[in-house]
């Protein structure tokens, strides 16, 4: 019976999965909740497709959050800190149309997909933007992690 439990424990340990998610080692995933009322002038631009708002309130993400209206009924929210290095003085990305750019390496990311658009072909691992959950209920868009 003792061998049975030993084998069972070994099988249990080796059969566990990490769900295939690769965590970004540079950006800490913070828990937060932020409501945006689309009736307020600050966020009213988000009623138009492709419009972007930068939220830089303290405690919202690491360096703030970019929110875009990506389709008729969908919003996407992304961390404003460049995902490909440790946060520093140049890692807060700046808005450039419907993309954002990191001034450290001139990496450019799409706010529609979060993907790194000018990914170097040097064999190293590069990360896309960290996405947060954005849900709409009436005129309120809730951004959470």
Number of structural domains in the chain: 1
Burial of 129 (0-12, 13-18, 19+ CB in 10 A): buried
What's the pLDDT band for 96 if we cut at 50, 70, 90? very high
| 69 pLDDT more than 70 | yes
CATH number at residue 131: 2.102.10.10
Would you say residue 16 lies in a domain? no
* Residue 12 pLDDT class (50, 70, 90 cuts): low
The residues, ordered by sequence, that sit 6+ positions from 21 with a Cβ below 8 Å of its Cβ are none
Per-residue pLDDT band for 7 (boundaries 50, 70, 90) equals low
Q: Which residues contact 127 (CB under 8 A, 6 or more apart)?
A: 24, 26, 83, 84, 116
pLDDT of residue 10 exceeding 70: no
Question: What is the DSSP code (8-state) at residue 116?
Answer: B
Q: Of the candidates 132, 46, 121, 20, which has an alpha carbon nearest to the alpha carbon of residue 81? A: 132
- Domain, as residue range, for 97: 26-144
């Amino acid at each position: 019976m003792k061998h049975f439990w030993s084998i069972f424990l070994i099988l249990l340990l080796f059969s566990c999965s990490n769900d295939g998610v690769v965590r970004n080692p540079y950006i800490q995933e913070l828990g937060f909740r932020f409501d945006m009322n689309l009736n307020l002038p600050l966020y009213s631009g988000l009623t138009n497709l492709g419009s972007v708002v930068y939220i830089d309130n303290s405690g919202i993400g690491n360096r703030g959050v970019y929110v875009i209206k990506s389709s008729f009924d969908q919003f996407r929210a992304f961390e404003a800190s460049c995902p490909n290095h440790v946060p520093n003085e140049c890692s807060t990305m700046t808005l450039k149309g419907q993309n954002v750019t990191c001034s450290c390496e001139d990496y450019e990311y799409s706010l529609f997909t979060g993907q790194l658009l000018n990914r170097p072909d040097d064999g190293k691992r590069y990360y896309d933007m960290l996405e947060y959950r954005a849900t709409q209920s009436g005129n309120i868009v809730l951004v959470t992690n």
